[in-house]
């Protein structure tokens, strides 16, 4: 758990760099990203009691860590998947033909 806390402590700075450099996000878009994260914290906090009643602490903690790792993986590989999806779509990135 200490190793996970050590790695996750750099998450915010990496997220800002990734959003601005790779995705080309503006400062207001990065702020919206952090606001969405805060809203997610509120939703999970409200549902935590219900989750904890149904599952043990170990299952809950491991499930949260697995979800976090899937989230990191999605962010890490998201740009590649978007690029492949747009490349495989016919006409993607081309201007629409003018109607006469």
pLDDT in tens, the chain (100 residues): 677 677 777 877 788 888 888 888 888 988 888 898 889 889 888 888 888 889 898 898 888 888 878 877 777 776 666 566 556 555 545 544 545 5
pTM of the model: 0.52
Cβ neighbours of 75 (radius 10 Å): 16
Give which of 71, 82, 64, 81 is closest to 36, Cα–Cα. 71
User: Residue 17 has which token pair?
Assistant: 């760099």
CA distance 95 to 86: 14
In this prediction, residue 11 carries a pLDDT of 76
Task: Write the pLDDT tens digit of every residue in 32-45.
Answer: 888 988 898 898 88
- Domain range annotation of the chain: 10-86
In the prediction, which pLDDT does 64 show? 84
């Amino acid at each position: 758990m200490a190793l996970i806390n050590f790695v996750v402590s750099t998450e915010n700075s990496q997220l800002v760099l990734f959003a601005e450099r790779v995705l080309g996000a503006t400062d207001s878009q990065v702020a919206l990203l952090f606001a969405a994260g805060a809203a997610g914290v509120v939703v999970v906090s409200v549902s935590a009691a219900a989750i904890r009643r149904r599952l043990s602490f170990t299952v809950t903690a491991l499930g949260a860590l697995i979800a976090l790792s899937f989230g990191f993986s999605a962010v890490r590989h998201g740009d590649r998947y978007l690029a492949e999806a747009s490349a495989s779509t016919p006409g993607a990135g081309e201007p629409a033909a003018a109607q006469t």
